[in-house]
Amino acid sequence: MPVPDGDVLAPFGEARPVKAEREPAVFMVDRRAGRVFQVPGGLPGKRPRFEPRNMDFGEGLDRWDLDSSAPRDLVEEAGALARHDYSAAAEGRSAVLSSASAEPRGPAVLAQTIFADDYRGAMVAFGGEIRAEDVAGQAGLRLEILRKGWRIEADRRVERTVGVTGSQAWSRREITVTVPVDTDIIRFGITLAGRGRVWLRNPELRRERTQDAGSAGVA
């Protein structure tokens, strides 16, 4: 296409003002890995559904992702994950999330993400055995229910954490919550804020019988 007087925009006419719009939360699927990633823009086609996978860590940290508020790229090496002030690894049939610096910045979460289609309107329970070692801040089991537009409106995101501090032996914890019918994403795993280490083994995500469709809480 000819470009008159070096103006590359001329063939397209006058520039029109663009209305600023909030970008919706959209998710990309890695079908080979069975993972879900958040990306900008829209994606065509029907969304597949993923059940929880690798819950016994028999395949290392496959299907699990390490997220942190610190701005450093994720490094994956020898079955372990590292992101700035935190690292995660599989140890036998458990996973461990550890601080990697003397003063970690922000929290980190080792979590698995699935589409919520098969759980909408139901009560779900996420449970597992956790233990802690020298946790200076907060650690624990975590369950997140992410509804449409969750990045924009805080009231469309439900977060539940069963916390531990210090050093604690293995104990089973559980979080129960009702999944709204417009939920897009469910994330579950362990979280750590500050120095220390927290382990997770025998995690389980299951549907429960709904006793009160309007309730959401922690058990």
Task: Compute the distance between CA of residue 127 and CA of residue 202 in angstroms, rounded to an integer.
Answer: 8
In single-letter form, the type of residue at position 136 comes to: A
Write down the pLDDT at residue 68: 78
User: 101 in a domain, yes or no?
Assistant: yes
Task: Compute the distance between CA of residue 37 and CA of residue 35 in angstroms, rounded to an integer.
Answer: 7
Dihedral-angle region of residue 204 (phi above 0 means left; psi in -120 to 50 means alpha; beta otherwise) = beta
Given pLDDT bands bounded at 50, 70 and 90, which one contains residue 91? very high
pLDDT, tens digit, 9 for 90 and up, residues 68-88: 765 555 555 555 776 678 999
- Contact (CB, 8 A) for 69 and 85: no
Return the CA Rg of the chain: 21
Range of the domain at 162: 22-208
Candidates 24, 26, 45; CA nearest to 37 is 26
User: 219 in a domain, yes or no?
Assistant: no
Task: Compute the distance between CA of residue 21 and CA of residue 101 in angstroms, rounded to an integer.
Answer: 39
Determine what percent of the chain is predicted with pLDDT higher than 90: 47
User: 199 in a domain, yes or no?
Assistant: yes
- Strand residues in the chain grouped as ranges (E): 26-30, 35-39, 65-68, 75-77, 80-83, 86-91, 94-99, 107-115, 123-147, 157-178, 183-193, 197-208
Residue 166 has pLDDT above 90, yes or no: yes
Instruction: Give the least confident one: 48-57, 101-110, 147-156, 189-198.
Output: 147-156
Given pLDDT bands bounded at 50, 70 and 90, which one contains residue 5? low
Q: Which residue has the tokens 């220390």?
A: 196
In the chain, the number of structural domains is 1
Q: Which residue has the tokens 């469709």?
A: 213
pTM: 0.71
User: 218 in a domain, yes or no?
Assistant: no
Q: Are strands 35-39 and 26-30 parallel, antiparallel or unpaired?
A: antiparallel
User: 9 in a domain, yes or no?
Assistant: no
35 contacts: CB under 8 Å, gap ≥ 6: 29, 63, 65, 113
CATH of the domain at 46: 2.60.120.260
User: 6 in a domain, yes or no?
Assistant: no
Instruction: Give the least confident one: 12-26, 37-51, 72-86.
Output: 12-26
Residues shown for the chain: 219
User: 215 in a domain, yes or no?
Assistant: no
User: 66 in a domain, yes or no?
Assistant: yes
Residue 209: CB atoms within 10 A of its CB come to: 6
Which 3 state secondary structure label does DSSP give 10? helix
Q: What is the mean pLDDT of residues 25-41?
A: 51
